[in-house]
Structure 1
Amino acid sequence: MVKGVFGSDAIRTVSVNKGDSVTLDSRLTEMKNDDVIYWKFGFEYTLIAEINKWNNTFTVYDDVLNGRFRDRLKLDNQTGSLTITNTTMKHDGFYHQQIKRLRKNFYLKVIVEISVMKGDSVTLNSDLTEMKDDDEIQWKFEYTLIAKINKRDDRFTVNDDVLDGRFRDRLKLNKQTGSLTITNITTEHAGHYQLEINRMRINFHLNVIVSVMEGDSVTISSDFTELKDNDWIRWKFGNEHTLIAEISKRPNRFAVYDDVLDGRFRDRLKLDNQTGSLTITNITTEHDGRYELDNDYYMRPSVICLAVYARLPVPFISSNSSQCSSSSSSSSSSVEYQDKNTYSCVLNNPISNQTQHLDITHLCHTCSGTAVLILVDVSADISVY
């Protein structure tokens, strides 16, 4: 994807998650016998690798720049493509490939991917122990400035009224490190964040996890108030990025593909023609997973993760008066003693619970004047003797 112009040559943006490997493609099928290829990094055009087919030499200079590329560079002997392994923030930047007079430019975006539950807080770390006196920091969300630090002037500013106030009262800056905390996360906060420190960039992609009960409906917001005439949206599901719905305003196309994936979405998908938001009805555990919103505005698809939980049964308590025991068994339920003769049994998951109360005088006989409560596997029934 072309994102800009560097000199007279187009820049191709390539994204990779921190820790993963990435290949900068030379787009050659095979080098010629007299080809010489140079790979350079950054605005200083530091030479990091070269190939000389005439001399049959393939060289990586992985000790330059304080060794940031050490043991990470691999050259393809046939095509001249360059692979960088185990990427870190220090590998984010511009790469230049030169073959004779032809030059190709890449911008490698190394991304820290973070997932957080809706309603929780998250801290985007600057990786600084302490800011220097002349440091300037800018935090951006999808190109929009949301926070800024100027250490020289001792100014710490959050712009939480931008983007229709979605960050209002949610942003906190760490004055020592410059890290940014976002509280009470909603799906509106999913997307791409960028930290600029002087000339260094750190990219984050925030995924929001939404919990939903089996059988309910959920709407995943597109973040658009109204789609424009040339807007397009694609909704994809799962690690295979299966297309399940799309909108293209110019030809007035609104389509759901609910027969894919063996029909698990059949008759369950609804698109909002105005905003592009996607509603999934009558949720089952088959719909648990990643949903990607891809369009021409975001630098990278916005990801919402659905966590679908089965409905809990009410604990069933039965008595067996023919047995009396002084032993007990452990259980995954929660049992609370409330007063002299009353207990409650609670089955729960992260978004719901079911409680049953028990007055043991109604169900239990006593042994030597003492009532004994025994709990068995709460995934089935709960028995009290």
Structure 2
Amino acid sequence: MTSDPEELNRSEEHHNGVNVNIVPVMEGDSVTLHTDVAKYIHYVQWSFGPEHTIIIIQFNGRTPNITYFNVERIRDRLQIDNQTGSLTIRNIQITDNGLYELRMKKYRLLFNVTVYARLPIPIVTSDSSNCLSNCSLLCSAVNVSHVTLSWYKGNSLLSSISVSDLSISLSLPLEVEYQDENTYSCVINNPISNKTQHLLDINQFCKTSADGVKIVSVMEGDSVTLHANASDIPRRYMRNIMWRFAPEDTRIVRDIRLDEKTGEIIYHEDDIFRDRLQIDNQTGSLTIRNIRTTDSGLYQMYGLFLRESFNVTVYARLPIPVITRDSSCFSSSSGSSSVSRCVLLCSVFNVSHMTLSWYKGNSLLSSISVSDLISSVSLHLEVEYQDNNTYSCVLNNPISNQTRHLNVSELCQT
């Protein structure tokens, strides 16, 4: 895909009194910077890049004489128009960002080229950090920069957040009602492209069972409040409210209620929640502090006029993945050429309910998922030596992620 220069160069700014053409382009595309002069001019000079690359084009008759300086990094991706001196950059990279200066005999042009990374599709999950009576959603994108993340209801913008520098994880919450029938979408965009995740059925994310059990996800060590919405119940009936907890891993049922006289919490079984619970005496809502994975299970609130149920899943905090070089490095040959490749291994230990993935930039390369507790999970990646692409290994569960960025030159030393 070649960007249309007439469209790109309409936007201008000024640099030391010289007009600067603003040129946005997508990573991997091609772009042409036009000299906008008639053919067979005498002299053209391009200069750009951190290496102070210089290209001098002298036209003697129909065959130009082109001289390159400090052009090794980008030489095989450049093309010079033999008639006008216009410069084309193929397979443009993020590192090609910057100011490109064109000098000719009588005038000078500047092009400010901004290369944007290809955008990932946003990921929408239920949000554990705000366990309200409504459903809380979280839209996220990883390893992004110069983007805006937005929530829409139909065509109406609800909220947005923007970042300029590289952000390992960008998230935006949204609160909706259970059984909401509106259409929502989460959009990530930069000045030249966008990706959208549509929520056609809110019940896919705001899960309730047939009897109205609300699904709650929370991170180990955090606090969560299970909202009972009992504020309209006459206060004299609040003493009849009781919470019952049925853990996932046992058949023991634990009852929890407030003492009518002292207002203190009464435990009718062993006090595994000692000093970690709080019941709101106005609403009946239950707060669990410093929650543990053993606190996962079904929580039910009983009252004379109200019954609420919550299925709580507590996820362990994720470790940062570890990247090592695999001992099985090898060379693969094709015809007369031989390409050395480096085999890498991304690993995590003692994890459950998670996915381990390799990314090249924002593109998913491979992944593996586990549900039960497992002592070790690993995922291979094969790259060429001297590979200049950006790779990362991401570990995620439904509510969080951890990322380890790969330095190919550091791990794949020949």
By the TM > 0.5 criterion, same fold?
no
Shorter-chain TM-score tier: 0.3 to 0.5
Higher strand share: 2
Structure 2 length-normalised TM: 0.37
Structure 1 length-normalised TM: 0.40
